[in-house]
Chain A
């Protein structure tokens, strides 16, 4: 029996995947150490830089907007003569081209790695990427790729490596270092590739089958006993994440018999919208604001939060945008460094926010200041009792009064609640003040099975929970609809075409999911009637 393996880090891109580990070689290049200097070294380095620029330009031709911007940055860096000047100086005093290049780039990169600012540290992987690409070119090496569908395991991942890799067979990224603010993290979120960072030192053998949960920040050995539950769509399981479609349906989601069904996007950062057309969805159904927080001081920065929120609202241009209050969990410091399974029943979501009103108040103010920029609604996570909703609304009212007194432009967004705690989902009529309901099926499944999502020993129970979750929804959705309030669903269940007929028959008319799944769901909806029956039958 292989040793148990379970690692907790920080989720950098949500979603779950499984696949064999591809353990990347150490990033430090060994190449060029034995290289003998020649009188052509200045020219060789210049050629390698130009060759790398050509390669990046070829990649940029087929890249989406966001990837294109990252490639443009690397190209601009390489086109700047200042990048090779220190290397040329070293070559003139006798160093070989690759040694000179590596040494001078390392000096440059060091300043980024040493910074206390996470965003500046995150740029060091861009600089190392530039260094390694030119070095590969100098030494005639092919840039390292890895097998399709595997889980990349390493200290960090280079943006060019992400962009050159074929993600169509799924896979995930697992890093001992890394950052949620890195370019690779942004790319992973927009492409729906699960990613976990900050795992620290660990040993995983090449080829080990891994299960990665990018939302919870967990990596564990895939014991093979984990059955594929029906709700785990192919993309989430390491088989193909469908590539973003160029010609996604641009009509609002609609069934064959003409009933509008909103197909909305889950996002974690405004940058994920760069490659996405507002017409590809019917708004943002879930903006997980936790991903905006990279250091504790981000909680205090009201202006920064307000800018991110208004950016998303402006992008949606009037379409609904549902922003969820910070959904952090556990007794861990904020932002959480690791996951304690016990904390799933503890201070999480709105419970934590009401215990830390300093954090909640800043977010509430930022949300209300952003509200005039579009069609905002706010979602409270993990609500269990109407009292929690009342307390949250009181804080909104308080802060609105304060903003009004200061003459700051603001709006009061409708406040809805997640239905993910069974006690709340069974009693929707008691939440008279909620403006809308959103069933969160991932957490609901965990609480229905009493099986923590982060607990390897019971993960098979969680994964087999689909039938019970569907039964639960069939009982509770009608009660929620009877209140006359809008009722939506966000969670992996929404992305599984085979479950859509039943979900429609319960009465759902709004689904939120990763952007990569929206086109497929819209297409599936167009082939069925609103009662869940197949169109034309």
Chain B
């Protein structure tokens, strides 16, 4: 299961910069479909979103699938996700949760009956 290394403090006002770390547990990392899910979710928030991989000091635009794919994020990598601006709190929480849910790739497919 995903280990969340640190969590955003729940009491922060939503308009401040917040940051959290999360480990990627998806088997093949952030490949095509997860990258689409991640950047789409990021783009749904008005705040700026940055992603740092394994604390390497480089912050990528979390809304850019080209940058996220280009980082070739694999299983076991630790992502730092930060957001600054309106909805920052919620954005970081939602993105961490998406990574923890393995990008919703494993939920059973919807059935009509």
Which residues does A use to contact B, with CB under 8 Å? Answer: 69-70, 72-73, 76-77, 80, 82-83, 108, 111-112, 115, 117, 119-120, 123, 126, 181, 183, 273-274, 278-279, 301, 304, 307, 310-311, 314-315, 317
Contacts and interface: CB of A to CB of B under 8 A. Distances in A.
13 contacts: A72-B36, A73-B33, A76-B65, A82-B61, A82-B67, A108-B70, A111-B72, A117-B74, A120-B31, A181-B28, A310-B106, A314-B107, A317-B108
A126 B32 contact: yes
Given A117-B74, A307-B106, A314-B108, A123 B64 contact: no
B3 interface: no
Given A120-B72, A183-B32, A311 B64 contact: no
B66 A315 contact: no
Nearest to A298: B27
B29 A120 contact: yes
A307 B29 CA distance: 14
B40 interface: yes
A108 B72 CA distance: 11
Given A76-B39, A82-B64, A273 B27 contact: no
A373 B15 CA distance: 42
Contacts of B32: 69-70, 73, 123, 126, 183
Interface in B38-79: 39-40, 61, 64-67, 69-70, 72, 74
A251 to B, nearest CB: 13
Top 8 A-B residue pairs of the complex, sorted by shortest distance between their CB atoms: A314-B108, A119-B28, A82-B66, A73-B32, A82-B64, A80-B66, A83-B66, A304-B27
Contacts of A310: 106
B35 interface: yes
B108 A80 contact: no
Interface string B88-113: 00000000000000000011110101
Contacts of B29: 117, 119-120
Given A119-B28, A123-B31, A315-B109, A73 B36 contact: yes
A278 B106 contact: no
B70 A111 contact: yes
Given A72-B36, A77-B69, A82-B61, 8 more contacts: A76-B35, A80-B64, A117-B74, A119-B29, A119-B31, A126-B32, A314-B107, A315-B109
Contacts of B33: 69, 73
Contacts of B108: 311, 314-315, 317
A323 to B, nearest CB: 17
Contacts of A108: 66, 70
Q: Main SS of the interface on chain A?
A: helix
A77 B66 contact: yes
Contacts of B27: 301, 304, 307
A73 B68 CA distance: 13
B99 to A, nearest CB: 15
Contacts of A120: 29, 31, 72, 74
A307 B2 CA distance: 14
A111 B72 CA distance: 8
A268 B31 CA distance: 20
A442 B61 CA distance: 52
Contact of B35 (A73, A117, A304, A314): A73
Contacts of B31: 119-120, 123
A431 to B, nearest CB: 34
A121 B39 CA distance: 21
A123 B69 contact: yes
Of the listed residues B27, B61, B113, the one surrounded by the most CB atoms of chain A closer than 10 A to its CB is B27
Contacts of A311: 106, 108
Nearest to A183: B32
B111 A115 contact: no
A108 B67 CA distance: 10
B74 A76 contact: no
A483 B26 CA distance: 44
B5 to A, nearest CB: 19
Nearest to A307: B106
Contact of A273 (B69, B70, B109): B109
Contact of A278 (B64, B69, B72, B111): B111
Contacts of B107: 314
A77 B65 contact: yes
A390 B66 CA distance: 53
A304 B29 CA distance: 12
Contacts of B36: 69, 72-73, 76
A126 B32 CA distance: 9
Contacts of B74: 117, 120
A429 B76 CA distance: 49
Nearest to A373: B108
Nearest to A310: B106
Contacts of B39: 76, 80
Of the listed residues B66, B72, B109, the one surrounded by the most CB atoms of chain A closer than 10 A to its CB is B66
A23 B29 CA distance: 34
A322 B65 CA distance: 38
A301 B76 CA distance: 13
B2 to A, nearest CB: 12
Nearest to A308: B27
Of the listed residues A69, A76, A307, A310, the one surrounded by the most CB atoms of chain B closer than 10 A to its CB is A76
Contacts of B72: 111-112, 115, 117, 120
A100 to B, nearest CB: 16
A83 B28 CA distance: 23
A304 B76 CA distance: 13
Nearest to A114: B72
Nearest to B72: A120
Contacts of A278: 109, 111
A260 B30 CA distance: 44
